[in-house]
Each structure stands twice: as structure tokens, then as C-alpha cells.
Amino acid sequence: MNLKRTPEAIIFEKLYPEEYNSFGCGPGGVGDWFVPDRMWNLSVRDACRQHDHDYRFGIGASDEHRKICDQRMKENMHIIVHEKSDSWILKQARHVRINTYYCFVRTCGGGSYWGER
């Protein structure tokens, strides 16, 4: 699967695998219940790991950079769903859920983005 990953995230994953593997879709705590790593039993965690790395360590610190990070997460989720969904109906439902995740991160993710820097 060819996710859109930054070279920095690939290197970070190799150097710090435990920390990289701790990244995920939700904001932590109770928020993980609302934003799970799985969409109807399909993991989209790899998209969220890249996104978490982008927010914490990505090169750039601007609203435009944040938008690029969020867009990459959305595109990576679509790649995962497209390549790993067996059921047509689940694929459609997952694409709708991706848009929900994207809207949520665009609306509520600013505090996390700026707080990680």
C-alpha cells in the first residue's frame, strides 16, 4: 500500500518505533472512543500515525502547513479504504466516515497542532 508519507516520519518510525506506534487517530483518553483507529473493523491507524507525526514534528508551523497535514491524513485514509475494503457498502460508509474525521480535525485540531509545537 502506497500511503503518502514524509521521509521524516519514515526515519522517525525506524529510530523510535515504540513512540511512533503509540500514535493514533483519537486525541487520547475518552476522545479515542469518539475517534477510533478502526472504521467498521478496518484500521486507518497508519494514516493517523503519519498525521500525528506531521503535527508534532512536521517541517513548518502555519495554518497552511496544518491544512496540508490534514489533507494528507484524509488522502491516506482513502487509500487504505480503497485498497482494503472487501464490501462495496462498507467502502462507501468508510469514505463518508473519512469525511467526518477530516471535518472534525479541521474544526477541532488546531489546539492539538499548535499545542504539539
Could you read off the pLDDT of 76-95 as tens digits, one per residue?
A: 999 999 999 999 999 999 99
Confidence category of residue 29, pLDDT binned at 50, 70, 90: confident
- pLDDT at site 79: 98
> Regarding beta strands 42-43 and 38-39, do their DSSP bridges make them parallel or antiparallel, or are they unpaired?
antiparallel
- pLDDT at site 93: 98
Helix (H) / strand (E) containing 104:
helix 88-108
Q: Identify residue 10 by its one-letter amino acid code.
A: I
pTM of the model: 0.94
63, 73, 72, 59: which is closest to 113 by C-alpha? Answer: 63
